[in-house]
Chains A and B, each alone.
Chain A
Amino acid sequence: MAERNPFEQFDIAVEAMLSGAEPNSSLDRSTRELLRIARQIRHMPREAFRQRLMTDLKEQTMASATITPTVNPIREGFHTLTPYVIVNGASQFLNFMKQVFGAEERLRVPKPDGSIMHAEVSIGDSIIEMADASEQYPPRLAAIHVYVDDVDSAYQRAMAAGAASLHPPMDQPYGDRDASITDPLGNQWYMGKHVTKGNVVEGMRTVTPYLHPVGADKFIDFLKQAFGAVEISVYREWPEGPVVHAKLRIGDSMIELSEPHGPYQPIVTGLHLYTENTDALFKQAVAAGASPIFQPRDEPYGDRCAGVTDPAGNSWFIATHIKDVTF
């Protein structure tokens, strides 16, 4: 039998290696070295993949170059959702929050008559905005879920500041100690402290707006379609029963809601919603059934803003921060 040439002999060793056979111990050192290199190369990337990934990355680069705004689309200190309380007596409202929740005033823009055109306070990691009501902006009160360090003392401070009790502090089966009050302006506050797992429940901000729309199920669908809300939890007392408590995420914030019950009746609320693209979200909200209050426009304070009313009558101020303005 004729002896095989070295190329053929080597290919037999290659074939064995590729089929996963154990290396033949009788192979000479030189062949073993070549096979070691061959084994390394087996994991070499396909050229088509290398090129395709390069193209993908270039596209990602171009996309980020076109959409990256020069400033953060959410104004500093804000989250996606912020309650905007419009009230006859914004100054009194502001003082109430200072007294009861230790709110810190971060901005106050007065009108010539001394009333408040716009003000902001921070409570924990959140902001609440407010303005005095006017013909253009009628009152928009709110129900607000707020996490506090000590429910009992916050409740006492609220009562001392003229609030009316909805329910005194109590331990709830869901792990919070909470109390509810109506402030002298008519806003409802649900003050809670999460007893078992630290103060604030994961994913929640210090302040979360709470709505009680009639027909909560339909309203949840609206929030999903209009603002891309994501359902986190929905509790009912029995299957198909009314929504007792629901939690939805919009952007980096939560919104809670329930079907109206007892003293927790619909409150027409104002909400400030930051997004990357006001025009697009305005269009989406209107397509989902919201009514325009005003079309997208650039505001002198550096936001592009639009207004819509949802089917429950709440006002949503959709905004994108487009440039930093010093007040």
Chain B
Amino acid sequence: MAERRPLRQSLGDSADDRLLIEAAQRDRSRFADLYELYFDRIYAYVSRRVVDRADTEDLTSEVFHQALANLDRFEWRGAPFAAWLFRIASNAIADRSERLARERKIEPPPESEEADQEEAQDQARAFRMVRELPDDQRRVVEMRFVEQKSIKEIAGALGRTEGAVKQLQFRGLENLRARIGGGNG
């Protein structure tokens, strides 16, 4: 297993992040920059705890709406911005957990809050890497794993042979492994 960065450090806001947060606090239209920066992490965090994709989207949406509405309340004392967002997410999930648990749409309790946040960061990095793949590989990877389409459906949609789609799938994942650093599984 690869050495993990200490969480506090990895969650910490860089000077650039801090400027973005301060800018958004002054001018809400700058919140879009923060959204771009933190969206994947929060989505990944929620998706680790909530099974259903619609619930994950709903809760992620709630987190960012709440964050935008309460941005003035975030202060530079101790916890970094990501931790603040994770807390909002964790509360939002807890609020719904009773219903979701009843519908069996919630994951078993996570190993730990800290591990969960860290995994969410790794996952967010993988999401970002997917978006940076060559276009044909990206489309196949997204359709196959995110939209969970069959090879046949993808081949039909992209006008490629099934063999070509399988090859793009393989190359796409290999490419990701190389970019992410691989070997830490």
A contact residues vs B (CB 8 Å cutoff): 6-8, 10-11, 14, 18, 32-34, 36-38, 40-47, 49-50, 53-54, 56-58, 60-62, 64-65
| Bound complex: CA A65 to CA B35 (Å) | 18
* A41-B32 contact given A14-B169, A57-B68, CB 8 Å threshold: no
B contact residues vs A (CB 8 Å cutoff): 28-29, 31-32, 35, 39-40, 43-44, 47-48, 53, 56-57, 60-61, 64-65, 68-69, 122-123, 126-127, 130, 141-142, 144-148, 151, 163, 166-167, 169-170, 173-174, 176-177, 180, 182-183, 185
Chain A contacts for B141, CB-based, 8 A? 41
Partner of A53, one of B64, B145, B166: B64
Whether the pair B146, A57 counts as a contact (CB closer than 8 A) is: no
| Bound complex: CA A62 to CA B32 (Å) | 12
Which 9 A-B pairs give the minimum distances between C-beta atoms? A43-B47, A7-B166, A36-B185, A61-B28, A34-B173, A41-B145, A40-B126, A7-B167, A45-B43
Whether the pair B166, A8 counts as a contact (CB closer than 8 A) is: yes
Chain B contacts for A54, CB-based, 8 A? 32, 35
Whether the pair B61, A53 counts as a contact (CB closer than 8 A) is: yes
Q: Taking CB as reference atom, which chain B residue is nearest A11?
A: B166
Whether the pair B177, A14 counts as a contact (CB closer than 8 A) is: no
Whether the pair A45, B127 counts as a contact (CB closer than 8 A) is: yes
Whether the pair A57, B64 counts as a contact (CB closer than 8 A) is: yes
| Bound complex: CA A90 to CA B177 (Å) | 80
Smallest beta-carbon distance A38→chain B, Å: 6
| Bound complex: CA A43 to CA B47 (Å) | 6
Partner of B123, one of A33, A38, A40, A56: A40
Whether the pair A38, B127 counts as a contact (CB closer than 8 A) is: no
Whether the pair B144, A14 counts as a contact (CB closer than 8 A) is: yes
Whether the pair B44, A46 counts as a contact (CB closer than 8 A) is: no
* A33-B183 contact given A44-B127, A50-B39, CB 8 Å threshold: yes
Q: Can you identify 21 A-B contacts, CB atoms within 8 angstroms?
A: A8-B163, A33-B185, A37-B173, A41-B126, A41-B127, A41-B145, A41-B146, A41-B176, A43-B43, A43-B47, A44-B126, A45-B39, A45-B43, A45-B56, A45-B60, A53-B39, A53-B60, A53-B61, A57-B35, A58-B29, A62-B29
* A47-B182 contact given A40-B126, A57-B64, CB 8 Å threshold: no
Q: Taking CB as reference atom, which chain A residue is nearest B48?
A: A43
Whether the pair A46, B32 counts as a contact (CB closer than 8 A) is: no
* A33-B177 contact given A11-B151, A43-B48, A57-B35, CB 8 Å threshold: yes
Whether the pair B148, A18 counts as a contact (CB closer than 8 A) is: yes
Q: Taking CB as reference atom, which chain A residue is nearest B47?
A: A43
Whether the pair B57, A49 counts as a contact (CB closer than 8 A) is: yes
Smallest beta-carbon distance B163→chain A, Å: 7
| Bound complex: CA A37 to CA B48 (Å) | 15
